[in-house]
Amino acid sequence: MDDHAKERTAPKVAIVVPCYNEEEALPVTAKELLSLLDKMEADGLADSSSYVMCVNDGSRDKTWATICSLHDADRRIKGIDLAHNRGHQNALLAGLMTVMDNCDAAISIDADLQDDPQAMVRMVEDYRNGIDIVYGVRSSRATDTWFKRTSAHGFYSFQKAMGLDTVYDHADYRLMSNEALHLLSEYGESNLFLRGIIPQIGLKTSIVKYERHERVAGESKYPLKKMLSFSIDGITSFSAKPMRLIFLTGLTFLIIDIIVAIYVLISFFAHSAILGWSSLMLSVWFLGSLILMGIGIVGEYIGKIFIEVKNRPRYAIREKLL
């Protein structure tokens, strides 16, 4: 432990909770998080000024009204209301940037409490020992379906192959010190993939493992279609390897085409060429599919460039409860 780590006292902790249509879960979530803050304060782990910051991401139900009601009952529940639905990553960033100048450490967790809140105790302990970023990592995926478990592991492996530096089995449950938050604020991209950005910050990190639970209430906001879109965004936001793979694939087929062309010419001059409709059609369809896939991947990158160059605000806050 270095001298700087020894100087860290009980931090002022801000728990950031992105919310989208979570009116059913929030009362349960708020009660459990406040109870946890009370326990950490009693144990001397967290300062008495610690609080919970709920971010309403343009919910269509009574999520904001619920946050207001919870704030009236306990001022440690604070909130910001985004003017539009901007997606989980932007909502999370809005919360982190709002608490940045009013906390020593921020912990992000989803409102469904599938990520075990008790892991926060070990996160804060690591922070006090000099760690700036503590990743919450699932200890197992035994509760997932076979398809979800296999697809998740496949995606992490694919990310690594594409050159993306992410933490295996980590979502967005993490602690970040005030220093880490300020460094995060310097990243200005509009195509947010925090799981890829935060490992690039480069401060001291650690991992806390926990068991994942069922939702406390409500329904999942991440169906397969949304998770797939999120995965594609993550890869195309941090790696140019897909475009390189298109070039290498094209180069490979060019070599094959040259070999086939030599064979066809030899067959032609030897008067043994046979017109093959089936092989021709299969080749056309196969190469056509590759071309369309290639255009689609390049289009993903061009679309991201289009969004980035406009430099529009990533979110707009309509109202604050501080």
Q: Give the pLDDT mean for 279-304.
A: 71
Report the distance separating Cα 304 and Cα 299, nearest Å: 9
pLDDT digits (tens, 9 = 90+) for 205-237: 999 999 887 765 656 555 556 566 656 665 666
User: 54 in helix, strand or coil?
Assistant: strand
- Residues 225, 210, 32, CA angle at the centre, nearest 5°? 90
The pLDDT tens digits of the residues spanning 143-182 come to: 666 766 676 666 667 667 666 677 878 889 999 999 999 9
Q: In angstroms, what is the C-alpha Rg of the chain?
A: 25
**Spatial distance between the Cα atoms of 231 and 301, rounded to a whole number of angstroms:** 14
Average pLDDT, the chain: 82
pLDDT > 50? residue 278: no
Q: What is the pLDDT of residues 45-81, one digit of tens each?
A: 999 999 999 999 999 999 999 999 999 999 999 999 9
Verdict on whether the full-model pTM lies above 0.75: no
Strands 105-108 and 13-19 come out as: parallel
Q: What is the mean pLDDT of residues 197-206?
A: 91
Per-residue pLDDT reduced to its tens digit, 228-276: 665 666 566 656 566 667 766 766 776 776 776 676 667 667 766 566 6
